[in-house]
């Protein structure tokens, strides 16, 4: 632990020198990467120093335990400081774990109705509302990119971005198949149906992350928007369809009245998809890549079931069941996401301990 903290402080000093170098600031990609690393290491050093202060205060409190006048006060202070030390130590252990460099990014979320027809589309709309409410509670900004709505309030597909510190890191475990069990509105006999919705959570890419030759690699088609929006939207060529020719990826956007804004949004989604594809190819190339129980990558895996008759939400990856379905769908995801993050941290800590033992041998 001490060696790691010493290395962190040395690296932080190096980064401060590099960030002051005009040559580094002119390299946008490198400067962005170094700035992120600097912010992460600053937090590690801050927590480490706070922990040292608490341990010093704890030692002083323990020295006064036998004092006739101050002993009781010292015991109360010791108990408070021990709890604080434990929280800081847990946080420091977490910060020293290898980080996903994408965790601090904004994110692009794609929700698509799967099996279940109109019922799946209705639930896709509810998931969109759930994530929007959660983002609002976090103080994040959501921006609708594209939506394919159905006639009775459902969506076949909705794509939106979430902008805020750590948005991808918190939402990345939502990728996968979300299953709903309930009586559909259109079901006259009252039978419970099972439908499915897929969710993909992508780290939002910056222009420097993905190399796109917009003259050679991109074809942009312009067309009239459809759906609600009024005469000005539906009669002007504001909608765009962007095709990435090397991969045949297609992204459409018609949410804005401005063609320029729609094109910018479509390019944001395209870059994020290409970055996600690049990350996946790199992961597959590394045979030693961990296969986590708490997966944020396998979108074909059934990760969660929402059972309406029992007001039950079950996350199958960690075996967690909660009976607060209404609150979860209203955006109260903290308990669920924190449990997933905790399980992921525990798994990585165990793997790190295993690696250390192997090194000792």
With CA atoms as reference, report the closest residue to 310 among 120, 179, 182: 182
Going by C-beta distance under 8 Å and a sequence separation of 6 or more, which residues neighbour residue 335?
Answer: 322
**C-beta atoms surrounding 104 within 10 Å:** 16
% of the chain exceeding 90 in pLDDT: 52
Digit-coded pLDDT (tens) for 130-188:
999 999 999 999 999 989 998 888 999 999 999 998 899 999 999 999 999 999 876 76
Banded pLDDT at 285 (limits 50, 70, 90) = low
Identify the bridge partners of residue 22 per DSSP, sorted by sequence position.
none
Assign 335 a pLDDT band (cuts: 50, 70, 90).
very high
Output the pTM of the full model.
0.69
Residue 114 has pLDDT above 60, yes or no: yes
Mean pLDDT for the stretch of residues 217-246? 74
pLDDT at 226 over 70: no
> What pLDDT does residue 290 have?
41
Distances (CA, A) of 329 to 11, 106, 354: 43, 22, 38
- pLDDT at residue 299, rounded to an integer: 56
Going by pLDDT thresholds of 50, 70 and 90, the confidence category of residue 348 is confident
Q: Which two tokens stand for residue 134?
A: 């959660």
Taking only the tens place, the pLDDT of each residue in 256-271 is 888 889 999 999 999 9
pLDDT at residue 235 greater than cutoff 60: no
């Amino acid at each position: 632990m001490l060696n790691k903290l010493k290395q962190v402080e040395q690296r932080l000093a190096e980064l401060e020198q590099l960030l002051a170098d005009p040559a580094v600031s002119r390299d946008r990609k490198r400067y962005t990467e170094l700035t992120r690393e600097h912010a992460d290491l600053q937090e590690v050093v801050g927590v480490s120093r706070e922990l040292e202060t608490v341990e010093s205060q704890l030692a002083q409190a323990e020295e006064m335990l036998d004092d006739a006048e101050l002993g009781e006060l010292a015991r109360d202070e010791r108990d408070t400081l021990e709890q604080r030390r434990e929280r800081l130590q847990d946080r420091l252990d977490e910060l020293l774990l290898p980080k996903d460099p994408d965790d601090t990014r904004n994110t692009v979320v794609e929700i698509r109705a799967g099996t279940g027809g109109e019922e799946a589309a209705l639930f896709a709309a509810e998931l969109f509302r759930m994530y929007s409410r959660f983002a609002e509670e976090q103080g994040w900004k959501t921006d609708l990119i594209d939506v394919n709505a159905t006639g009775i309030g459902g969506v076949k597909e909705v794509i939106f971005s979430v902008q805020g510190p750590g948005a991808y890191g918190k939402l990345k475990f939502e990728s996968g198949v979300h299953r709903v069990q309930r009586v559909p509105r259109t079901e006259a006999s009252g039978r419970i149906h099972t439908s499915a919705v897929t969710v993909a959570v992508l780290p939002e890419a910056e222009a420097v992350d993905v190399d796109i030759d917009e003259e050679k690699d991109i074809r942009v088609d312009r067309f009239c928007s459809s759906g609600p929006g009024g005469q000005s939207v539906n009669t002007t060529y504001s909608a765009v369809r962007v095709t990435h020719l090397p991969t045949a990826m297609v992204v459409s956007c018609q949410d804005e009245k401005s063609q320029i804004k729609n094109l910018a949004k479509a390019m944001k989604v395209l870059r994020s998809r290409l970055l996600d594809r690049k990350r996946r190819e790199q992961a597959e190339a590394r045979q030693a890549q961990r296969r986590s129980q708490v997966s944020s990558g396998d979108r074909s895996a059934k990760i969660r079931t929402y059972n309406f008759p029992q007001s039950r939400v079950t996350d199958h990856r960690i075996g967690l069941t909660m009976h607060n379905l209404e609150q979860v769908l209203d955006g109260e995801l903290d308990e669920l996401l924190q449990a997933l993050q905790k399980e992921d941290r525990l798994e990585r800590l165990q793997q790190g301990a295993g690696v250390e033992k192997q090194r000792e041998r």
